[in-house]
Amino acid sequence: MLDSLEWEDTKRQADSATIPGIFLGLAGFEWTSWTSGHITVFNTPNYTNRDSTPSVDSLYHWMANQANAMGQFNHPWPTAFNSFSYRTTADTMMALYEMQNKEQANWYYIPLDSGWRVGIAANQDNHFTDWGMGKQLTGIWADSLTKSSIISAIKNMRTFGTLDRNFQLWFKANGSWMGSTIPKSDINFDVFAFDPDTSDFIQRIDIITDGNTIVDSLILGNTNYIAWQTKLSTNSNSRRYFFARVIENDSEYALSSPIWIESSAIATDFEKTPGMNSFEFYPNPFTSLINFSFSPYNLGDLEAIKIYSATGEKIKSFSPALYISWDGRDDMGNESPPGVYFINFGKGNKKLCQKILRLDKR
pLDDT one-digit tens code per residue, 171-192: 999 999 999 988 878 899 999 9
Q: Which residue has the higher pLDDT, 344 or 235?
A: 344
Q: Which residue has the higher pLDDT, 221 or 333?
A: 333
Q: How far apart are CA 63 and CA 201, in angstroms?
A: 42
Say which CATH number the domain at 325 has: 2.60.40.3080
Among the residue ranges 2-6, 89-93, 201-205, 207-211, the one predicted with the least confidence is: 89-93
| Same domain membership, residue 227 and residue 99 | yes
Instruction: Give per-residue pLDDT as tens, 131-163.
Output: 888 899 999 999 899 998 999 899 999 999 999
| Same domain membership, residue 341 and residue 194 | no
**What's the mean pLDDT in 275-298?**
69
Instruction: Give per-residue pLDDT as tens, 305-362.
Output: 889 887 678 899 988 877 788 999 999 999 998 888 888 877 665 567 777 888 876 5
| Same domain membership, residue 270 and residue 182 | no
Q: How many domains would you assign to the chain?
A: 2
| Same domain membership, residue 208 and residue 111 | yes
**What's the mean pLDDT in 220-234?**
88
Which residue type occupies 16? S
| Same domain membership, residue 102 and residue 13 | yes
DSSP code at position 19: B
Which residue type occupies 308? Y
pLDDT reported for residue 218: 94
CA atoms lying within 13 Å on the CB side of residue 48? 23
Q: Which of 217, 239, 264 is the last residue of a domain?
A: 264
| Same domain membership, residue 112 and residue 37 | yes
Q: How far apart are CA 119 and CA 97, in angstroms?
A: 6
To the nearest whole percent, how much of the chain has pLDDT over 70? 90
**What's the mean pLDDT in 218-238?**
84
pLDDT above 80: residue 234: no
pLDDT grade for 270, boundaries at 50, 70 and 90: very low
Q: How far apart are CA 117 and CA 93, in angstroms?
A: 10
CA atoms lying within 13 Å on the CB side of residue 299? 13
Say which CATH number the domain at 258 has: 2.60.40.1930
Q: Closest by alpha carbon to 89, among 260, 281, 285, 282? A: 285
| Same domain membership, residue 333 and residue 257 | no
Instruction: Give per-residue pLDDT as tens, 116-134.
Output: 999 999 998 888 888 888 8
pLDDT reported for residue 278: 52
Q: Which residue has the higher pLDDT, 54 or 272?
A: 54
Q: Provide the terminal-to-terminal Cα distance of the chain, rounded to the nearest Å.
A: 32
For the chain, the average pLDDT equals 86
pLDDT grade for 273, boundaries at 50, 70 and 90: very low
The Cα-based distances of 5 to 10, 26, 34, 194 in angstroms read 9, 17, 25, 43
Q: Closest by alpha carbon to 283, among 57, 88, 94, 68? A: 68
Cα Rg of the chain (Å, integer): 20
| Same domain membership, residue 85 and residue 52 | yes
61 CB-contact burial (10 Å; exposed 0-12 / middle 13-18 / buried 19+) = middle
pLDDT above 80: residue 244: yes
Starting from the edge strand earliest in sequence, which strands make up the sheet with 323-326, in order? Answer: 279-282, 290-294, 323-326
pLDDT reported for residue 65: 85
Instruction: Give per-residue pLDDT as tens, 298-320.
Output: 556 667 788 988 767 889 998 88
Q: Which of 229, 264, 299 is the last residue of a domain?
A: 264
| Same domain membership, residue 278 and residue 144 | no
| Same domain membership, residue 274 and residue 239 | no
pLDDT reported for residue 267: 41
pLDDT reported for residue 240: 86
DSSP code at position 359: P
Displacement of CA 143 from its chain's centroid (Å): 16
Among the residue ranges 44-53, 90-99, 202-211, 283-292, the one predicted with the least confidence is: 283-292
Q: Which residue has the higher pLDDT, 64 or 353?
A: 64
pLDDT reported for residue 348: 60
| Same domain membership, residue 249 and residue 332 | no
Q: Is the pTM of this model over 0.85?
A: no
**What's the mean pLDDT in 89-99?**
90
Q: Are 109 and 258 in contact (CB under 8 A)?
A: no
| Same domain membership, residue 321 and residue 240 | no
**What's the mean pLDDT in 97-101?**
96
pLDDT above 70: residue 27: yes
pLDDT above 80: residue 282: no
Domain of residue 61 covers 4-264
pLDDT reported for residue 236: 60
pLDDT grade for 263, boundaries at 50, 70 and 90: low
The three-point CA angle 44-159-177 to 5° equals 120
Q: Which of 240, 264, 288 is the last residue of a domain?
A: 264
pLDDT above 90: residue 22: yes
Q: How far apart are CA 223 and CA 235, in angstroms?
A: 34
